Amino acid sequence: MGMISSEALAENLGVTHKQVKGLILKYDVRAVPSGSSYMDSGKPQRKVLVDEEAFNQGLSQKAAVLRRPKKDKSAKKNGK
C-alpha cells in the first residue's frame, strides 16, 4: 500500500490539483487529509493522501471506450 499525495498525482498525470480532487471524489477513492495545497492559483485546497494502487484501480474500473457513433448509411444527404 503506497500512499501518494494528491499534488504528486496531479504532477504525474499532468493535470491540475483540482482535477485530481474531482477524480478522487467521483470514483470514491478513500483519502486522508494532510494539509493545504497551493499548487493551483486561487484559494488553497485540501491536500490528501491516497493509496496509489486504489486510485489507479478506480480509474481503470470506471474507464470507458471513447468512440464516435457511426453515421447511419440510410440518412439522406443535405436533409432531403
Is there a domain that residue 29 lies in?
yes
Is there a domain that residue 74 lies in?
no
What torsion do the CA atoms of 7, 11, 14, 20 make, to the nearest 10 degrees?
Answer: -20
CA gap 80, 72 in Å, rounded: 15
User: Which residue segment(s) compose the domain that 16 sits in?
Assistant: 3-62
pLDDT at 15: 92
Which pLDDT tens digit goes with each residue over 30-78?
999 988 888 777 788 888 999 999 888 888 887 777 777 777 766 666 6
Is there a domain that residue 20 lies in?
yes
Is there a domain that residue 35 lies in?
yes
Is there a domain that residue 54 lies in?
yes
Instruction: Quickly state the pLDDT bin for 4 (edges 50, 70, 90).
Output: very high
Is there a domain that residue 67 lies in?
no
Is there a domain that residue 44 lies in?
yes
Number of domains, the chain: 1
